[in-house]
Structure 1
Amino acid sequence: MAKQWRIGIDVGGTNTDAVVLDDKLNLVAAVKSPTTEDVMGGIRNAMAAVLSDPAVDRSQIGYAMLGTTHCTNAIVERKRLDRVAVIRIGAPATAAIKPMIDWPADLRSAINDQWFLVQGGHEFDGREIAPFDADEVRRIAKEVKGSCDSVAISSVFSPVDASHEKAAAQIMREELGEDFPISISSEIGSVSLLERENATILNAALVNVAKTTSESFIAALDAEGIKDAEIYLCQNDGTLMSAEYAMRYPILTIACGPTNSIRGASFLTGLKDAVVVDIGGTTTDLGVLVHGFPRESMLAVEIGGVRTNFRMPDIISIGLGGGSIVRRHEDGTVTVGPDSVGYKVTEKALCFGGDTLTATDIVVARGMAPGVGDPEKVAFLAPDLVDKALACMVKMVEDCIDRMKTSAGDIDVVLVGGGSILMPDSLEGVAQLKRPENFGVANAVGSAISQVSGQIERVFSLDKLGRAETLEVAKGLARDEAVKAGADPDTIEIVEVEDVPLAYLPGNATRVRVKAVGDLRI
């Protein structure tokens, strides 16, 4: 009989959480462990702690899921990034603005700042700007061989016609090797060239980070005696992808933490539509559940100082957490955060014998967090200080909930994360407020229970096939992507279809986005 138990791990800024679920998705064990500077150390510690629970049968674990900040950290810190050769197909039309022109200089330097402009590309209606220069791409391949670790290829309007990108990728593989990492923009970003190109370059720069992360995770499992589990990394749409797929599209792991919490909140409460408030030790992240999955942002997103347009969750983050520092000012006002003692809250907070007034101290003094710290150590706090600090925290969250709403009425809200003890049992503008059992490890639960998804976003001409047939083609492509990511083909469902006519393009052009979701392949 196949092993059906799952271990899910999610890395947060303060804590790394780990859970084990049995074959019926019941929670068997859960732990919170401080996130370490090297990230992998915290993952190993959390894994060892949760597996040491006597209720856990290691021999039954067949799946291991990891939601990690490795890729985000690599971009922010400018460390461990691949040397990228950037090829833009678009001469002579796109020569005015160079690739990476608005990137921070230190990030450009970290990936080698090596780019080439090649003749080719398409107009917005699919006509060629110029014939594709295959000889130049072959020359570039010979030039960069040995001086780059990864290649990023973008072409003008490749979401309309990706033929030049695919031709260039084929030439690079012939010259550099079939397994050489190559990222093409039509598989990653949306229509706008510069933002799509930026996302593709970042993706190419993260290939080795994803590979090292997966291998380290496998090694950590192996050290604990789990040798043949299926490995998955969490995507930022609240679903999973196989380790192999993650190495092709590592940028999709960015911002997966909040989406794990959103999916975990849905699983723990049964709600499919709600605002999820995830309060940690340092920050509060708010997202929206729509039909059981995180709502996607429609805006361009900046990552590490680089503007991109690939899919990202619609998240608001504020500097409020259990370790947020509380201050009373000379004019009598009280502020909370945005600075925090983070994972050191159990050392620094007054209620734990420390010397820093934190948000946790406020709720302990108010009697809202039984079993947390020592109430006697915060009994001296002035009642008006406690009231003002609590009112400040509540207002911060209520304002963000209002910003996430799409209508004026009250909405359901789910509180998760270890810091959700900061909130009272009712909030303004909220229909029902739920704080589910195991709320503190909702993010790790979200990583463990997630399904596998595939998503495509392309521009189609409806004049060629008609709307109905075009949508069927797009659904088929999304299903294929889900299978590549590790989904069982027999369980795949289409959960999202969006088609937006593009009035400025001929041929009845329409941007189509389709998302398919399926269960893990057993």
Structure 2
Amino acid sequence: MSIYRIGIDVGGTHTDAVLLDQNNTVLSETKSPTTEDVATGIYNAMHQIITQANVPRKEIKYAMLGTTHCTNAIVERKRLNKVAAIRIGAPATLSVKPLIGVPEDLREVLGKHVYLVRGGHEFDGREIVPLDEDHIYQIAEEIKGKVDSIAITSVFSPVSKSHEERASEILREVLGDHIPLSLSSEIGSVGLLERENATILNASVVNVAKTAADGFINALKSEGIDAKVFFGQNDGTLMSIEYTVKYPIFTVACGPTNSLRGASYLSELTDAIVVDVGGTTSDVGVLVQSFPRESSLAVEIGGARTNFRMPDLVSIGLGGGTVIRTKADGEFTIGPDSVGYKLQEKSLVFGGDILTATDVAVALGKVEIGDSAKVAHLDKDLLNRMYTKMVSLVEEAIDKMKTSADPVPVILVGGGSVLLPEQLEGASEVIRPEHSGVANAIGSAISQVSGQIEKIYSLDEIGREKALEHAKLQAKTEAINAGAAEESLVIVDVEDVPLAYMPGNATRIRVKAAGDLAQFEIKELV
């Protein structure tokens, strides 16, 4: 019996879908307009690829989804959980309240139940003061029935997470096992405010993740498919539904990372720059050993600074639907707004009345889309200047992502990549692989499952060798929990940064392990 897998990636303009066989050969692909409710677009795309391929539905055993559900919910301030934010850090952190610096409209939604509790640790692991357990019990009684998700952040929990874990035990004792708890030690890095923000945001989108997961499973069932479902996460790997609902924040920015993974697979390159041109933006990222390079900077999500892992990306407001406006003096502006998923209604080549980047490329004969006669009247000199500016925007973004002046391979993917030329400044070669238009969906379908651990160790106590060994074991355990097959696990990244300002010869170790999907269904069939 053959084993097939579905990969779907939801973008702002299109929902891309592919169906692969067990050799990862593309059997069918589609770009379907993203719908306002997202779920309809997912179902439409999935129905199209299954109908095209005409494979037995009972042999489709895996389904992977890269989704913008959680990102959109945070940005739009909609469908968020009622969150209780508990910081364990009094009296040391009383001067800086939780959610400080977060936009007021987001703080109004997430800051209704904020608590400061005595406890926390110093940077060397010593207790500031013992955890005030009575206060935790009091909070648990107070929030009963008022919140449906809890974020717990303790000072220096990446060094010692004992207070967070004890607080979670008390909350479960009082409130039961059904209420989701987000612990900052499992989500963010060192840096209290950013880690706290990331944890609160994670707690806020648990219901959104559950709804997305249920919707995807129901869409599969409506097609008669009983598949194991995985979600894309922002390091270019997959996670199980259980893991997704626990750590939904890790789905943020999974679209560009899926594109990077798909680009690596399609081009057979492990190290390159990838330009993913969509309908609204172009995302430029870097492949390092087939995985996206990670950002070392704090990243804002919906206006809130966070410090959990995110891909290192430069996004520019240039896509197939980018609006181009001309001025009376012959000058013009490119974007940053886009007609998005309404490209086939609004763009000139489709009978609309808005000049887009697609119209410029069609008018200059760079690509054949829509009706070129509808843009034949446009001034060629002006169009050439527009196109030159479009290309230079991409070249500048590529230059920002390079670590040296040397030319590097550039892989073009995404539906809008057809707008770009075969040569780009700073590129040793420009590669546009087959199926590049749905690289994001392919990246979702072929991705491995990973686990990552980031922890501070005192080398005086444990020694470097044992610290690394412990971190690698923890990372592998995380990967297995996320759905990876134990026998296929490999360590794909190790970072060891000495912390000179901390006593005990301290070092921060970050390890990522990745492996193939655990073959649950195949075992059942044998």
Q: TM-score range, shorter-chain basis?
A: over 0.9
Structure 1 stretches lacking a partner, 5+ long: none
> Under a length normalisation based on structure 2, what TM-score does the superposition of the two structures give?
0.97
For 2:367 and 2:147, how far apart are their aligned partners in 1? 54
Other-structure match for 1:391? 388
Equivalent residues in 2 for 1:466-505, closer than 5 Å: 466-505=463-502
User: Could you give the per-residue CA deviations for residues 31-87 of structure 1, whole angstroms, max 9, x where no partner exists?
Assistant: 111111111121111112222214433221100001001101111111111111111
Structure 2 stretches lacking a partner, 5+ long: 520-526
Displacement of 1:101 in angstroms is 2.5
Point out the more displaced range, 194-203 or 357-366: 357-366
CA contact (8 A) 2:85 2:111 kept: no
**Does residue 53 of the first structure (1) align with residue 74 of the second (2)?**
no
Point out the more displaced range, 184-193 or 93-102: 93-102
Equivalent residues in 2 for 1:60-75, closer than 5 Å: 60-75=59-74
Other-structure match for 2:524? none
For 1:365 and 1:504, how far apart are their aligned partners in 2? 60
CA contact (8 A) 2:360 2:386 kept: yes
Other-structure match for 1:406? 403
Q: Secondary structure at the match of 1:424?
A: coil
* % identity of equivalent residues: 63
Q: Secondary structure at the match of 2:147?
A: coil
Displacement of 1:327 in angstroms is 2.8
**Does residue 419 of the first structure (1) align with residue 377 of the second (2)?**
no
CA contact (8 A) 2:19 2:53 kept: no
Other-structure match for 2:235? 237
For 2:35 and 2:355, how far apart are their aligned partners in 1? 24
Point out the more displaced range, 47-56 or 482-491: 47-56
The counterpart of 1:334, out of the listed 314, 323, 332, is 332
CA contact (8 A) 1:29 1:55 kept: no
Other-structure match for 2:249? 251
Displacement of 1:232 in angstroms is 0.4
Point out the more displaced range, 170-179 or 420-429: 170-179
For 2:358 and 2:108, how far apart are their aligned partners in 1? 42
Other-structure match for 1:451? 448
Other-structure match for 1:265? 263
**Does residue 130 of the first structure (1) align with residue 129 of the second (2)?**
yes
Point out the more displaced range, 98-107 or 163-172: 98-107
Q: Secondary structure at the match of 1:262?
A: helix
**Does residue 513 of the first structure (1) align with residue 475 of the second (2)?**
no
For 1:383 and 1:142, how far apart are their aligned partners in 2? 70
CA contact (8 A) 1:266 1:289 kept: yes
Other-structure match for 1:211? 210
For 1:495 and 1:145, how far apart are their aligned partners in 2? 43
Displacement of 1:121 in angstroms is 0.7
For 2:376 and 2:449, how far apart are their aligned partners in 1? 49
**Does residue 303 of the first structure (1) align with residue 301 of the second (2)?**
yes
Other-structure match for 2:319? 321
Displacement of 1:496 in angstroms is 0.1
Measured on the aligned residues, the alpha-carbon RMSD in Å equals 1.2
Point out the more displaced range, 139-148 or 503-512: 139-148
> Under a length normalisation based on structure 1, what TM-score does the superposition of the two structures give?
0.97
CA contact (8 A) 1:274 1:414 kept: yes
CA contact (8 A) 1:335 1:392 kept: no
**Structure 1 pair 54/509, CA: closer, same or farther in 2 (3 Å)?**
closer
Structure 1 letter corresponding to 2:513: A
CA contact (8 A) 1:83 1:112 kept: no
Displacement of 1:375 in angstroms is 2.3
Q: Secondary structure at the match of 1:28?
A: strand
Matched pairs, number:
519
For 2:82 and 2:443, how far apart are their aligned partners in 1? 34
**Does residue 441 of the first structure (1) align with residue 441 of the second (2)?**
no
Displacement of 1:168 in angstroms is 0.7
Equivalent residues in 2 for 1:283-302, closer than 5 Å: 283-302=281-300
